[in-house]
Every structure is written in C-alpha cells, then in structure tokens.
C-alpha cells in the first residue's frame, strides 16, 4: 500500500447557493485500501461530499485530493456508482452495453468494442452476480439488479477508488444482503467510500465511519454508539443494538 491517502479533504467548504454552505471545514482522509462510510441525516451533505471526491463538484475553498492529485486528474482511477434512480431507467440498452460504458473514454470509439473491453465488462457482470444477463434490457431489470449493473459498470473502469451513493437504498432486503457480500469481496482490491443511511451495512464491513452533518466527524466503527448518533441525528433517534467487528487498521 502506498503512503499517500486514497482520499484527502482539507478545510473543504461547498454549497449550491452563495452564502449557504452545505459542507464546511471538512477534513477527512481515507487510506489506500480503506473502506469508509459516510453516514448522516438526509440533506446532511453526504452525497455532496461524495460528488466532491469524484470531482463532479468543485469546492468553494479547501482542497480535495485523490491519490494526491485533483480528482479530475485521477478520473481514470475512480469508479462512481450513482443511485439507480438517478439514471434513465427506460433507456433502451442491453445490460452488457450499459456495463461497457465503464470502458468508454473521451475519444470516439466507432465500430465494435475490442474483445478486451467486452471481456472486462463480462467479468464485471459476473462479479456482481449477473452473469448470463448480458442481453437483457436494462429497463426490464428490478431495482436491485439495476443497482448491481451500475456497480458492474464502475468495476469495468478497473478503479483504485470505488465511490458508491446509497447502494442499498431502493433495493429489497435480500438484495441488500447480497450487496454486503459483494462489497466484502471488492474491498480486497480497491479503496471504497460509500454513502449510506443504513447503519446495518456500515457497521459490519467498514473500517471508518464518517458522520456528515454539515461538519464532519470521523469515528472508527467500534466507537459508534448512541451518543455519537444522537449528536449527529439529534435526540429521539432509536439506535438498534448491533455488534461491531473490531478490525485492526489496514487489516
């Protein structure tokens, strides 16, 4: 593992309207090979932070670095997974073509896809458990399947850093459980940052929980308790008891 952090934010400030910052004074770092979750209330700025890391947004002030460079310079190393409700569900496209978009770059690519790209896309589909679905229309898939296609598309980019926005929102419980297995496999070969409101996903897998509510607090998973959460969400939120697997840093 290299010494440089996969993600590093320093004094980042950003908002969509002048004078109304959504995130303020954010400092955070995710080491190479780490797995961090951004959690927090709706509208707290989790997705905004993820989009800043991806380079889809430019901070008002402060710096965002991915492997020590601006995110736009590291695009090729980033795999981004939006929520499946953010893409056009009725778009007429077979599943394999959707995954192949992960192999696309800025240069025009007329003609058939090179075999190497097709193989990478098929492997990514197999990885998310959708082998054999290559020719199915994207529009006919369930929400959970669509979400997995979007993960496959990001894997097809062969990223060092995988960013996922609420991967288990809008999917059923069974799909959610399969998702956890998938993430557990993927974390062995890439750094993962995911946005989630689902503490169940967070607690069993990740090294680090980053609580986002305008300002940001970083906790090792093991420290996650009622006091932290009530500070973040406000009082009156019930915390469901669950165990944490304590991991050694970098394990």
Partner 1 sequence: MSGFVDALVAHEFLQRSLAAGLLAALAAGIVGPYVVVRRISVIAGAIAHAVLGGIGAARWLHEVHGWTALRPVHGALAAALLAALAVALISRHFREREDTLIAAVWAFGMALGVLFVSRTPGYARDLMSDLFGNVLLVQPSDLWLMAGLDAVVLAVALVWHRQIVATCFDPEFARLRGINTELVHLLLLLLAAVTVVLLALVVGIVLVIALLTIPAAIAGRLTRTLGGMMALAVLVSAGLTSAGLAVSYGPDLPTGATTIVLAVALYGLVLAGGGLRRLVRG
Should residue 112 be labelled a site residue for partner 1 when binding is judged by CB under 8 A? no
Quick one: which segment of 12-20, 30-38, 72-80, 233-241 binds partner 1 (CB under 8 A)? 72-80
Should residue 110 be labelled a site residue for partner 1 when binding is judged by CB under 8 A? yes
Question: Closest CB to partner 1 among 156 and 216?
Answer: 156
Burial of 228 (0-12, 13-18, 19+ CB in 10 A): middle
Instruction: Please name every residue paired with 113 in a beta bridge, in sequence order, or none if there are none.
Output: none
- Tell me how far apart the alpha carbons of residues 209 and 229 are, in angstroms, rounded to a whole number: 11
Question: Closest CB to partner 1 among 75 and 187?
Answer: 75
Q: Among all chains, which residue has been given the structure tokens 């709706």?
A: 42
Should residue 146 be labelled a site residue for partner 1 when binding is judged by CB under 8 A? no
Asked whether 221 and 34 are in contact (CB, 8 A), the reply is no
From the CB of 88, what's the least distance to partner 1, in Å? 6
Show the tokens assigned to 249.
Answer: 């840093």
Should residue 237 be labelled a site residue for partner 1 when binding is judged by CB under 8 A? no
- Tell me how far apart the alpha carbons of residues 113 and 80 are, in angstroms, rounded to a whole number: 22
Should residue 56 be labelled a site residue for partner 1 when binding is judged by CB under 8 A? yes
Question: Closest CB to partner 1 among 67 and 80?
Answer: 80
Q: How many residues bind partner 1 (CB under 8 A)?
A: 30
Show the tokens assigned to 16.
Answer: 């969509």
Should residue 17 be labelled a site residue for partner 1 when binding is judged by CB under 8 A? no
Should residue 54 be labelled a site residue for partner 1 when binding is judged by CB under 8 A? yes
The correct pick among 3, 106, 241, 251 for binding partner 1 (CB under 8 A) is 106
CA 123 centroid distance within chain: 20
Whole-Å CA distances, 141 to 138, 181, 247: 6, 20, 36
Quick one: which segment of 18-26, 42-50, 104-112, 210-218 binds partner 1 (CB under 8 A)? 104-112
Should residue 101 be labelled a site residue for partner 1 when binding is judged by CB under 8 A? yes
The correct pick among 11, 69, 109, 242 for binding partner 1 (CB under 8 A) is 109
Question: Closest CB to partner 1 among 20 and 243?
Answer: 20
The correct pick among 18, 19, 108, 112 for binding partner 1 (CB under 8 A) is 108
User: For residues 77-96, which are near partner 1 according to CB under 8 A?
Assistant: 78, 80, 82, 86-88, 90-94
Quick one: which segment of 40-48, 108-116, 141-149, 194-202 binds partner 1 (CB under 8 A)? 108-116
For binding to partner 1 (CB under 8 A), which residues are involved? Answer: 54-56, 75-76, 78, 80, 82, 86-88, 90-94, 97-98, 101-102, 104-106, 108-110, 137, 139, 153, 157
């Amino acid at each position: 593992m290299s010494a440089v952090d996969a993600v590093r934010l320093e004094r980042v400030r950003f908002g969509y309207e002048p004078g109304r910052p959504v995130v303020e004074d954010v400092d955070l770092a995710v080491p190479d090979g780490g797995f961090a979750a951004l959690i927090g209330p709706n509208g707290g700025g989790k997705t905004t932070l993820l989009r800043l890391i991806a380079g889809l947004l430019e901070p008002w002030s402060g710096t965002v670095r991915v492997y020590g460079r601006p995110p736009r310079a590291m695009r090729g190393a980033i795999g981004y997974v939006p929520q499946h409700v953010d893409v056009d569900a009725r778009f007429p496209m077979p599943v394999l073509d959707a995954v192949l978009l992960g192999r696309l770059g800025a240069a025009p690519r007329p003609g058939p896809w090179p075999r190497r790209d097709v193989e990478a896309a098929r492997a990514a589909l197999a990885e998310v458990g959708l082998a054999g679905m290559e020719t199915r229309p994207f529009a006919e898939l369930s929400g959970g399947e669509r979400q997995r296609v979007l993960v496959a598309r990001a894997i097809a980019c062969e990223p060092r850093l995988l960013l996922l926005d609420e991967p288990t929102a809008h999917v059923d419980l069974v799909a959610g459980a399969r998702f956890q297995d998938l993430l557990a496999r993927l974390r062995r070969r890439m750094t993962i940052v995911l946005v989630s409101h689902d503490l169940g996903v967070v607690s069993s897998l990740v090294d680090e929980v980053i609580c986002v509510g305008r300002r940001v607090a970083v906790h090792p998973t093991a420290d996650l308790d009622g006091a932290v959460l009530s500070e973040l969400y406000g009082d009156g939120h019930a915390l469901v008891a669950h165990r944490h697997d304590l991991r050694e840093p970098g394990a």
